[in-house]
Amino acid sequence: MLKLQQPDSLYIGGEWVRASDKEAVINPADESVIAEAPVGRAAAISDAIGIAYDAFHNGPWRRMAVTERQSKLTEFLDAIDRRKAEIVELIIAEAGSTRMLADFLQFGIPMKHARKTVEIASRPAMSSLPVELTPNAQGGKTLGTGVVSREPVGVVSAITPYNFPFFLNIGKIIPALATGCSVVLKPSPYTPIEALFLGEIANEVGLPKGVLNIVTGDIEASKLLTTDKRIDLIHFTGSDKVGAMIQAQASHNLTRCVMELGGKSALIVRPDADLLQAAQAGLGGFVTHCGQGCALLTRHLVHNSVKDQYVEMLRGMLSHVKIGNPQDPSVSFGPLIREVARTRTESFVESAYADGAKLVSGGKRPDGFDKGFFYEPTLFVDVRSDSRLAQEEVFGPIGAVMGFDSDDEAIAIANNSDFGLSGGIFSADAGTAFEMALQLRTGGVSINGGAGTMQSEAPFGGIKRSGYGREYGVDGLNEFTYQKTISFHGA
């Protein structure tokens, strides 16, 4: 497993700065301590912001030709790839990811996205405006036109959560750096090592000092990343409640934000659907990474004519889910990140019972686990659309099945949510499914399983309490820029 060269230090200005305080990083599967990570204080975070500010305004990075930045970032990604085996082991130990998920989704997909981001960074940064002819005071006509230039926004505060730490760290710093910005990256205190090792990579490939800084810190110290006027963009992934706090903190300086927040996404299963495929997708919707994913399909809206059959399929699939320490390659279901997450999951089970939902499977801590934050994958049926389980994000392994009788009813139930991040539809009638997808109030919809991958050029993000702004592709790249219009005219 990956070991840091400077385990008690923050990465600021291309140097390792020792922190006076440390905090244990715990393996959620067995509660063992895998590292003692540094805890940054306000002075260190302020220094990191100042150094990033100076690197942006006075350093070479934003002035480089885009091809030079592409070359350096390709070196950066190549260096990461050489350490893939170590990183995957760290993802398993630090985030509690199963081995297959760590290899494919936690590492493989973000690296695919990152390389595509570097590739498309050479998109034209300047576009021409139409020519306009305007009568002038001399009796002639002025030939006027201009260009729109996309330029790096400045210093980026990148704040990432614990569920997909490597994925989200890479997903923020690569587009920020590709556009010429400087970054201060702040990971979750539960998963700091997957961020801090990127400082070693930065030094290995000779990234200019100050363009990438990696800090940790408590809540008070971290407020600088959302309130300091030297920050030009806050790029945050996390819960809607924390997102609202950050937006409020950013409002004093009118700092731009990109918010990728929570979800309560709906999977619609029409009566003509391939039920086996739909049930497999439904299982993944609350079992993947122990339900700790913002875009997971946790609300299953199933036509009443096939609902019982769908539920029985899921019941059978759940009986084959192997719970255990994800170091074991045969394990398909690992732990929640910490005890607080397990306790929260249990509170949703109690709420579901109180609201009249019927338990199909799970609903308790598994037997035989004295260590680790394990909870059985849990399925409820006959869940009310207005219940807590149907309305709030659990971020734990609970699926909720609701019946419907018409497409219009399914759309209404799906849209009855404060969130709007993702969604899915299974139907033999792809045209009707497409028409329904257009009516869903959400940032993305997959039909019959979607593209089979997370597309690297597809903009990702949500509406409502799922946030705003987009990640990945050209739209995601442009979030790290601002537009400048330069106009001119001929004689």
Q: Which positions are catalytic? A: 260
Closest by alpha carbon to 152, among 191, 188, 125? 125
| 215 close to 10: Cβ distance less than 8 angstroms | yes
| 77 close to 202: Cβ distance less than 8 angstroms | no
Closest by alpha carbon to 62, among 225, 54, 170, 457? 54
DSSP tag of 85: H
Burial class (CB in 10 A: 0-12, 13-18, 19+), 441: middle
Q: Tokens 């490597």 label which residue?
A: 166
What residues have CB less than 8 Å from 307, skipping those under 6 apart? 381, 401, 403
Element (H, E) at 361: strand 358-361
Q: Tokens 């409502």 label which residue?
A: 464
Q: How far apart are CA 395 and CA 31, in angstroms?
A: 20
Region of residue 456 (left: phi > 0; alpha: psi -120 to 50; beta: else): alpha
Q: Tokens 């990256």 label which residue?
A: 185
Beta bridge partners of 186: 159
Element (H, E) at 24: strand 21-26
Beta bridge partners of 236: 159, 259
Q: How far apart are CA 11 and CA 213, in angstroms?
A: 5
